[in-house]
Amino acid sequence: MVTGSSSWSDVSLEPVSSGCGDILSDLRTQLYLVYNADTMTDITQKLGAVTEVATGEPCAAYALDDCVPDVVIRPASADEVRDTLKVCSEYGAPGVVWGGGTHVGIGNPLPQYRWAMDMRGLSRLLDYSPADLVVTVEAGMTLSTLQEFLYPHRQWLPVDAPLPDRQTVGGIIASGGAGPRRHRYGLPREWLLAVRAVLPSGEGIKAGIGVVKNVAGYDLPRLLAGSWGTLGVLTELTFKVAPLPEISVVYQSSLGEAQKLFSLRDALSHPLLQPEMLEVICERDAGWRIICGLAGFEEDVRWQVDFLREQTRMEWQQVPTEEAQRLRDRYVLAGSVCRCRCVVPPAQTAGMILWLSQRFPEAEIHSHFGAGVVRIWWSRELPTVRALQSLREETHRLGGFCVLEHAPAEMKRAFGVWDTVYGGAGVMRRLKEGFDPLGILAPGRFVGGL
């Protein structure tokens, strides 16, 4: 068996015809495709004929779980993505699609990793209709660049994923990434109207309609959203956008102890209080803090701030924009040795945070308090697999699940990245086999080794 390292076996693999798809689909569940150096040279030469490629030292920047790809592919158009995937499909060569690289490491260790496709060359604004609140961009555009196109028209895409200067819109959609303002605006997929994508076979597809009111057909855009790049390569995205609020402010208050979260939860759930974000943060130096973001017309926001103080009977101080951004980006930049994401019903968030703080006092915690998302990470020493199992069991008890977002490959294999408490692996397997029968896109990354 060949692993994802750059070593090669002595077995040569010739290109396969399209009629062999069913046979290869069965074979790939029993063994991994193997190559020799000449075969990879052929693949690289064919890729170089259709798009820009890099080999050698540049590949080290695309390492995943200590596996380095043999070639980096840098397409500049959807046509080049199609031609690239046709070559990879011809040889059955598996790889991974890259955006900004902030969340690409989430997932099971890959059994093979031959190429990395860097999508940042597809970064054009394709269409923008401010009057219709609709914008279409290529998937490699960063979130901050997209917002810069929208701001002059007093509009924005209500997504505040961490590190917007690095994260691409395609990567955000593929990973289902969201930031603190998901409390009001939901997940990025809820703002997605239509997509263009390329299947692993090289076939291009279009799904959805670029209008705000769309009820026609299957919702394939939402199927591709959150698929972690295992079903197809997103090349073009159409979003509905929203008017910018007149003002947006962020306030914080100290908690003292996690036990106060239960009474605070009840106070913050008053229907007259409409926050953009509610975050609970435990930093080793700063202790417990609650973050509340408010946005809208200036007069309304001022009333909301006064009502917030009245409801909670706490001291609130305004947070500078730079500090709010630092807190948003904190879990990505923390340099942790292990990080988990726990998702529970919002009513159980306080209980989840309290349990984590008591069970793992050495760890740091960041929660989207109103959305039921709690991240916990360890900066120095790895927790044991047994400790992580107790964490996952507690999320199950509270009606949620736990994903291991970052850890060494050995811990990923021992503990399991994805939580399958609610099942669904069978459906996901059939989708993977339908979209990617040869296992070209990140095979083994997702639930059940898909």
Lowest average pLDDT, out of 56-65, 78-87, 131-140, 423-432, goes to: 423-432
- Vertex 414, ends 410 and 417: CA angle to 5°? 90
Give 405's DSSP letter: E
Q: How far apart are CA 110 and CA 95, in angstroms?
A: 9
State residue 423's pLDDT score.
57
The fold adopted by the segment(s) 122-243 is 3.30.465
The amino acid at 347: A
Q: How far apart are CA 255 and CA 353, in angstroms?
A: 13
Q: Dump pLDDT digits (tens) for 406-431.
A: 999 999 999 999 987 555 677 788 88
Q: Looking at domain 247-415, which CATH architecture does it have?
A: 3-Layer(aba) Sandwich (3.40)
Q: State yes or no: pLDDT of 2 exceeds 50.
A: no
What is the pLDDT of the chain when averaged over all its residues? 87
Q: How far apart are CA 119 and CA 123, in angstroms?
A: 8
pLDDT band at 37 (very low <50, low <70, confident <90, very high): low
State residue 448's pLDDT score.
59
- For residue 235, report the phi and psi dihedrals to the nearest 5 degrees: -120, -25
State residue 16's pLDDT score.
37
Q: State yes or no: pLDDT of 208 exceeds 50.
A: yes
State residue 210's pLDDT score.
63
Neighbours of 246 (CB within 10 A): 13
Q: State yes or no: pLDDT of 42 exceeds 70.
A: yes
- For residue 312, report the phi and psi dihedrals to the nearest 5 degrees: -95, -20
pLDDT band at 283 (very low <50, low <70, confident <90, very high): confident
Q: State yes or no: pLDDT of 6 exceeds 70.
A: no
Number of C-alpha atoms within 13 angstroms, CB side, residue 75? 26
pLDDT band at 285 (very low <50, low <70, confident <90, very high): confident
Assess contact for 48 and 21: CB atoms under 8 A: no
- Beta bridge pairs of residue 365: 282, 376
Q: Dump pLDDT digits (tens) for 306-319.
A: 999 999 999 999 99
Neighbours of 362 (CB within 10 A): 10
Q: Do β-strands 192-198 and 233-240 pair in parallel, antiparallel, or remain unpaired?
A: antiparallel
User: In sequence order, which ranges of 5-77 are alpha helices (DSSP H)?
Assistant: 21-27, 37-48
Dump strand ranges (E) for 62-210.
Answer: 71-74, 95-98, 115-118, 125-129, 134-138, 155-156, 192-198, 204-208
Number of C-alpha atoms within 13 angstroms, CB side, residue 19? 0
Q: Dump pLDDT digits (tens) for 368-391.
A: 998 999 999 999 999 999 999 999
Q: What is the rounded average pLDDT of the residues 100-120?
A: 93
Tokens of 396: 């199950």
Q: Would you put residue 410 in left (φ > 0), alpha (ψ -120 to 50) or beta?
A: alpha
Using DSSP's 3-state secondary structure scheme, residue 74 falls into strand
Q: Considering only residues 5 and 259, tell me which one the structure prediction assigns the higher pLDDT.
A: 259
Q: State yes or no: pLDDT of 7 exceeds 90.
A: no
* CA pseudo-torsion sign 384, 386, 390, 396: positive
Q: Dump pLDDT digits (tens) for 325-368.
A: 999 999 999 889 999 999 999 999 999 999 999 999 999 999 99
Q: State yes or no: pLDDT of 263 exceeds 80.
A: yes
The amino acid at 215: V
State residue 222's pLDDT score.
84
Number of C-alpha atoms within 13 angstroms, CB side, residue 353? 32
Residue 364: in which H helix or E strand, if any? Answer: strand 364-368
Tokens of 285: 């130096």
Tokens of 227: 């698929």
Tokens of 354: 């309290």
Q: Would you put residue 347 in left (φ > 0), alpha (ψ -120 to 50) or beta?
A: alpha
Q: How far apart are CA 28 and CA 16, in angstroms?
A: 14
Q: What is the CATH number of domain 18-120+430-449?
A: 3.30.43.10
Q: What is the rounded average pLDDT of the residues 19-42?
A: 54
List the chain domain ranges.
18-120+430-449, 122-243, 247-415
Q: What is the rounded average pLDDT of the residues 126-155?
A: 97
- Taking alpha carbons only, the member of 277, 246, 240 closest to residue 154 is 246
State residue 431's pLDDT score.
86
- Taking alpha carbons only, the member of 110, 112, 71, 85 closest to residue 233 is 85
